Amino acid sequence: MDAVARAVRTYLDHLAVEKGLAANTLTSYRRDLRRYQAYLADRGVETLDAVDEATVTAFLVRLREGDADHPQLGASSAARTVVAVRGFHRFALADGLSAHDPAAAVRPPTPAKRLPKALPLADVEAILDAAGAPGTSLALRDRALLEVLYGTGARISEAVGLDVDDLDPVDHTVLLRGKGGKERVVPVGSFAREAVEAYLVRGRPELATARSSAGALFLNARGGRLSRQSAWAVLTRAADRAGVTRDVSPHTLRHSFATHLLDGGADVRVVQELLGHASVTTTQVYTLVTVDSLREVFAAAHPRARDDGLAPHA
């Protein structure tokens, strides 16, 4: 057994005995490090001191590209393997098995950001209509809640945390309290205003009790403040009644709010302010969605964009 193999075995023993890692986790580490060990052997590397940063980086490239014996790995799987290698070299240095750590500066690949899944406007409207269908006090509340979520881009925690006094009926705005206690004032459109007014006049008084949460806008059937879990259930039930089969969550309405604004021509920095994002970089992921929409329109409408190469005749 060469020095690299002995160091790998020592590290795995350390993880099992001193760190107490679960069996499945240990299996993953063992598999990843054996692949790394085989890679070093193929390159003629027999000692850890012979490994440099370029060696580890080349291993990462091999993971992403694959080889005759292994398929290429996605960013998440490659990142897991690189984390195992980094931990191994860090341990080897600390335990005196190596004089340096060649993996310290090698960063795992970042998985691609998942694009937000926005609903088509027709699906959003169907869900909103389904929420208020029965016409009861709870239905009025449900319609108002979902109109606020989609109409303001509020997070679910921001919506259920609203008090009646947070609404400004003169300026048609609402005060939202976001992450880290940050506050922002956003406009409330006519549909959301009408739904909230109907709820305040005909729905909330029937739900309110002497024990109601002081000033809470959205109340549950017992008169207390509506919880995040109950608000989630409101949306799920409305989506089921509307026949919307896609996975729908409160954040889906927030995604749809942002995407529909950008599709309509809103500036990304305006959307950033409305969503309460600290950085415009966070908001820019939505622009990728609108670029896809633009690409579809372009491909369908431009005479030189058709895949079949046949331009429509005038």
- Per DSSP (E only), the strands in 182-295 are 183-187
Catalytic, out of 35, 155, 177, 204: 155
155 classed as catalytic: yes
Catalytic residue at 199? no
79 to each of 84, 250, 294, 303, how far by Cα in Å? Answer: 9, 30, 33, 43
- Does an H or E element contain 88, and which? helix 75-94
Q: Which of 62, 193, 254, 255 is catalytic?
A: 254
Listed in sequence order, the residues at least 6 apart from 288 whose beta carbon sits closer than 8 Å to its beta carbon are 115
Domain ranges of the chain: 3-94, 121-299
Assign 306 a pLDDT band (cuts: 50, 70, 90): low
What is the CB-side half-sphere exposure of residue 200 using CA atoms within 13 A?
Answer: 14
Fold annotation for 121-299: hpI Integrase; Chain A (1.10.443)
**What are the structure tokens assigned to 206, written together?**
């029937």
277 is catalytic: yes
Q: Is 251 a catalytic residue?
A: yes
Which CATH superfamily is 3-94 part of?
Tyrosine recombinase, N-terminal domain (1.10.150.130)
Decide if 179 is catalytic.
yes
Rg (CA), the chain: 28
pLDDT in tens, 196-242: 999 999 999 999 876 666 789 999 998 999 999 999 999 999 999 99
Which residue in 64, 179, 246, 306 is the catalytic one?
Answer: 179
pLDDT tens per residue, range 247-291? 898 888 998 998 899 888 888 888 888 888 877 777 776 766 665
Distance CA 38, CA 68 (A): 13
- Domains 3-94 and 121-299 equal at CATH topology level: no
Q: How many CA within 13 A on the CB side of residue 25?
A: 10
